[in-house]
Structure 1
Amino acid sequence: MRSIRKTLTVAVAAASVLALAACSSQGGAQAQSGATDQSYVVAMITHESPGDSFWDKVRAGAEQAAGELNVELRYSNNPDGGQQATLVQNAIDSQVDGIAVTLSQAAQVGPAAQRAVDAGIPTVAFNSGIEEYPTYGIGMYFGSDETLAGRTAGERIAEAGGGRTLCVIHEQGSVSLEARCAGVLATSPDTENLQVNGTDLPSVQQTIGAKLQQDPSITHVVTLGAPVALAASQATAETGSRAEIITFDLNSDVATAVQDGRISFSIDQQPYVQGYMSVQSLWLNLTNGNDLGGGLPVLTGPSVVDSSNIAEIAGYAANNTR
């Protein structure tokens, strides 16, 4: 059943991207509808932590869609689940037209999102909470299947001969990050999790370095975000470890590191698409009653970026769109 779900969601995602391309070639939003004079307010509320460049791509995609569709985008963020729930409630109280929200701390943020749904505000989830979003009455989701993404990384490690793997979790309690490491473990059984504080990158580098010195048998370090990957690369260089670095997500520095071999590959969830599709789907719902995905998640990943395709992708990463 799960494999059927994945096939369906990938097909929906492909159809959505093709529709976007078709609209773009015919003049953007005005080709989709003559109702672009109507302005809407969309609140995007995430669990972004300070200094995490990943969210720059989410915002870039959301702002691109908002600019095309005459949408006022109100972005806010807080890594604390309780504070993020308060931001959702603030959006409800201000009577926005639509809400896009991440569910990293689903037990805390989900009930607030449910109140938005109950208030009649079109609401989509994205980036995190792929298993939890239906529980709160949310009908649309855009993101990667994080367990599948983790399994993909683990399978590539196993195919290359396996080895002892360290999976670095940089945000405590994040369901998405924990799912990634669980996926790695499922396909690369000799995997150990390491908890670090992703908001303090010097500390991250020191913690990873200490672990590599303590356990020289580690052959692979899997990081779950681009800034942490760069810290891990510095840790291996300083300790003399020959462990391969594998990461999730991209930025321009990681793209360069993939090109020069310091990072083996990246599992990309395409955050620019997540931001873009979240805003566009709300606009389509508000203007045309559309409900993308038919209740199933629309997958934006996992997409593997390695030496075979980095040359064509690096330019987009430098532009903050990939």
Structure 2
Amino acid sequence: MKTSKKLLAILPALALVAASCGGSDDNSSEGSTDTAASVDSAAPAATDAPEEVDQTQGGDLTFHMITHSDDGPFWSVLKRGADAAAADLGVTLVWKPGVNDAQVMVQDIEAAIAEGSDGIAASLPDPDALVGPLQSAVGAGVPVITLNSGSNDYQEIGALTHVGQSEVIAGNGAGQRFNDAGATKILCGQQEQGNVALTERCEGLAETFSGEVVIEFMGLDADTSEQQNTINAALAADTDIDGFMGVGPVITLSGLRAAQDLSRDLTIGGFDLTPELIGEIEAGNIAFTVDQQQYLQGYMPVLLLFLNVTNQNTLGGGLPILTGPGFVTPDNAAEILALSEVGTR
């Protein structure tokens, strides 16, 4: 039988996934091209050309990626990963950014179901609003994968898996780094209200940090001037604060600028990547940032939906597929910066 060209094209990606999960499947297909010869002398001579498997659902697939994206620097990298997967697999990807509005996401999910989507990948910043519509998608026979935020709720939806990081564990790691730096009181600044993933980052920080954590909304990334001024005011009002953690890359830089305005020597940590943020780490102005590898959060759901629809494959074994946390520090900032500048980190 011929092997599908599309399936062959994704085998390297599957090998990468297997390696990242620590597996080493060495099963071979010895003899697969040397099938038993026919004893009928009248049979036509065998040829070296492999036969072709016609994947009945392999063509003309349309997947929807519905997120709370604001198309900022974090999400642009995630979208680049999703677009790359769609191009590699020859499928159509419909990108729907909700701009931090769960009701817009609900409408987009409902529209995708009505359009007969072949698969939905969705973030879950507001489970109360989004679990129900995604359950409806599964009930309508549309495979669903959650990404970025949703690690606590994807099983309730009936999603195939979740692609992202454990936000609490990521916050735990950040807390330990602040301990190592000698901080005693941290302002954990959030750039969105009602996003459970951001709250979990701060809560995870508080679990392992030996000092005090103040958790506050500091303004949206869309207005960095207001965001910086809000952080500045919070720092000025509490001179005991000697650490700042931003739960996104833009607000982390706003925290750095606010501290510089006040000539405050703070230990600063962040979440996620932009070239500017990594440059500040390389310069020693920011201690670290948590890297959840958002390019993978875009690429992998498209790949996994494709494999499920065309080959009934699943990954994760009922557990989420973790893309982080990793940490960017002055030790590895230069290498990560080079990748960030080309848009894949």
Deviation of 1:249 (Å): 0.1
Letter aligned with residue 304 of structure 1: F
Question: Aligned to 2:289, what secondary structure does the other structure show?
Answer: strand
Residue in structure 2 matching 1:297, options 305, 317, 320: 320
Scaled by the length of structure 2, what TM-score is found? 0.83
Partner residue, 1:22: none
Greater Cα offset, 295-304 or 308-317: 308-317
Structure 1 stretches of 4+ with a deviation exceeding 3 A read 16-19, 33-37
Partner residue, 2:295: 272
1:80-159 to 2 correspondences below 5 Å: 80-159=101-180
Deviation of 1:141 (Å): 0.6
Deviation of 1:145 (Å): 0.3
Deviation of 1:200 (Å): 1.9
CA RMSD, Structure 1 to Structure 2 (Å): 2.0
Partner residue, 1:26: none
1:12-91 to 2 correspondences below 5 Å: 15=18, 17=20, 35=55, 38-49=59-70, 52-78=72-98, 79-91=100-112
Letter aligned with residue 262 of structure 1: N
Q: Deviations over 1:218-272 (max 9, x none)?
A: 1110001111111111111111111122100001111111111121101011100
Higher percent of residues as helix: 1
The aligned length equals 298
Task: Tell me how far apart the structure 2 counterparts of residues 130 and 191 of structure 1 sit (CA, whole Å).
Answer: 24
Q: Is residue 281 of structure 1 aligned with residue 304 of structure 2?
A: yes
Partner residue, 2:215: 193
Give unpaired runs (5+ residues) of structure 2.
1-14, 23-52
Deviation of 1:34 (Å): 7.6
Task: Tell me how far apart the structure 2 counterparts of residues 80 and 131 of structure 1 sit (CA, whole Å).
Answer: 20
Deviation of 1:162 (Å): 3.1
Q: Give the fraction of aligned pairs with identical amino acids, expressed as a percent.
A: 35
Task: Tell me how far apart the structure 2 counterparts of residues 118 and 315 of structure 1 sit (CA, whole Å).
Answer: 44
Structure showing greater Rg: 2
Higher relative contact order (CA 8 A, sep 6+): 1
Change (3 A) 1:13 1:157: farther
Partner residue, 1:24: none
Task: Tell me how far apart the structure 2 counterparts of residues 71 and 220 of structure 1 sit (CA, whole Å).
Answer: 46
Question: Aligned to 2:242, what secondary structure does the other structure show?
Answer: strand
Change (3 A) 1:13 1:146: farther
Tell me if structure 1 keeps the 8 A contact 2:219–2:230.
no
Deviation of 1:114 (Å): 0.6
Task: Tell me how far apart the structure 2 counterparts of residues 95 and 271 of structure 1 sit (CA, whole Å).
Answer: 27
Task: Tell me how far apart the structure 1 counterparts of residues 89 and 54 of structure 2 sit (CA, whole Å).
Answer: 11
Deviation of 1:52 (Å): 2.4
Task: Tell me how far apart the structure 2 counterparts of residues 77 and 105 of structure 1 sit (CA, whole Å).
Answer: 14
Task: Tell me how far apart the structure 1 counterparts of residues 263 and 324 of structure 2 sit (CA, whole Å).
Answer: 33
Give unpaired runs (5+ residues) of structure 1.
1-11, 20-32
Tell me if structure 2 keeps the 8 A contact 1:269–1:302.
yes
Question: Aligned to 1:218, what secondary structure does the other structure show?
Answer: coil
Task: Tell me how far apart the structure 1 counterparts of residues 97 and 258 of structure 2 sit (CA, whole Å).
Answer: 30
Residue in structure 2 matching 1:311, options 326, 330, 334: 334
Task: Tell me how far apart the structure 1 counterparts of residues 92 and 20 of structure 2 sit (CA, whole Å).
Answer: 23
Task: Tell me how far apart the structure 2 counterparts of residues 111 and 278 of structure 1 sit (CA, whole Å).
Answer: 20
Letter aligned with residue 317 of structure 2: G
Residue in structure 2 matching 1:208, options 226, 231, 245: 231
Task: Tell me how far apart the structure 1 counterparts of residues 218 and 242 of structure 2 sit (CA, whole Å).
Answer: 19
Scaled by the length of structure 1, what TM-score is found? 0.88
Deviation of 1:161 (Å): 2.1
Deviation of 1:196 (Å): 2.0
